[in-house]
Structure 1
């Protein structure tokens, strides 16, 4: 019975108490008892109150904790092999704020954004998970500035992005600072970004948001070049 139940539960990225009742066809009392026992035997994990999984890889269920949401930022870059780093956290873009979850030593971090588009289902470990497109990962990183600038620049330097799509996505955000940084980095690595120039204003911003705001001026992109890119890639 236990083996059959676990096999059935393996089909779900995560489940609630009510879903457990539906899956087993048993009562709430039975469900509570069974979940308690499976947790004690380390055959089942509590993600947060009322949400459970039998999977120990949080990538499988992270984009199902909040709906709608999707994996993006540094974690998205890693999924698409656009960074060589292994981020310790899983970074999620979501429609509403959510507290950080510590799952078996991995932190699942949620970042509220109004720009909840540009993501799709991807297959991972036999499951559909929600992940930002490569281009949207870059856009999200530049929007929320929660990923090291160097990692974003390296991802652009790989030249694996659809240049038309990423330019369209940048314009869609209506974020002028984002367009300046993206345009400068794209052009530096030989990628056409001319379409972005018509949206710029005359205010200078630092290229790297975390570095001291000192450097030469790039008049075309209105960028203070406070980070050299010749050693990025």
Structure 2
């Protein structure tokens, strides 16, 4: 199979991300052969290699879509500093896309963006919006803030400090209700203390 033939097919796809086995199945070739073709296309900048077996078409994918593909089949949503920025709660643009997930805490470095995914308790996995068109899930302003405070005591120290927060962009009552849903009472108390400190 010629590279130009594979590239033509890929460009005609109505998806921004695909797997090696998709190409192997379409052209009825073995996966290692398909992988070699895709690697060559990647080296010539026609494709982006996201992780083993996963590829993206340049200029077709929004970086915020990446977590859906990188963390599948487990769910995730944009949160922490990233969601706080997009919800206008902080002005500082994060250089990394921060994500809440049911998967283990993990970092992905891709040609498009770096994704830092952080595991949260299944009972605390809520409080996000869903865009039907882009499939992007993003925490509400209040949930993004409480998620950040929820993990502020984590060993990594990533969320220990916050940029200046615009309190006017938050519904404080909603935030307090979210805190009450934190699974562990000790964590609830800690988060509430840090939340109240932000209001002073």
What TM-score do you get using the length of structure 1 for normalisation? 0.66
- Does 2:66 correspond to 1:61? yes
Q: Which residue of 1 aligns with 2:148?
A: 141
Question: Does residue 78 of structure 1 match 2:78?
Answer: no
> How far off is 1:43 after superposition?
1.4
Task: Identify the structure with the greater helix proportion.
Answer: 2
Contact preservation (8 Å) 2:49, 2:111: no
**Structure 1: distance between partners of 2:95 and 2:120:** 21
Q: Name the counterpart of 2:37.
A: 34
Note the residue ranges of structure 1 that are not aligned, 5 or more in a row.
Answer: 189-233
Work out which of the residue numbers 116, 119, 127 in structure 2 matches 1:118.
127
Contact 2:107 2:114 in 1 (8 A): yes
CA apart distance, 1:101:
1.6
Aligned-residue CA RMSD (Å): 2.5
Instruction: Show the 5 A alignment for 1:154-173.
Output: 154-155=165-166, 157=167, 159-173=168-182
Q: Determine which structure has more spread, i.e. the larger CA radius of gyration.
A: 1
Q: How many residues align?
A: 179
Instruction: Tell me the residue number matched to 2:155.
Output: none
Deviation at 1:92, TM superposition (A): 1.3
Rate the CA distance shift 1:131–1:64 in 2: closer, same or farther, 3 A: farther
- Residues 44-59 of structure 1: pairs in structure 2 closer than 5 A: 44-55=47-58, 57-59=62-64
Q: Is the 8 A contact 2:63 2:112 kept in 1?
A: no
Give the number of the structure with larger relative contact order, counting CA–CA contacts within 8 Å between residues 6 or more apart.
2
Q: Which residue of 2 aligns with 1:5?
A: 10
Is 1:100 matched with 2:107? Answer: yes
TM normalised by structure 2 equals 0.76
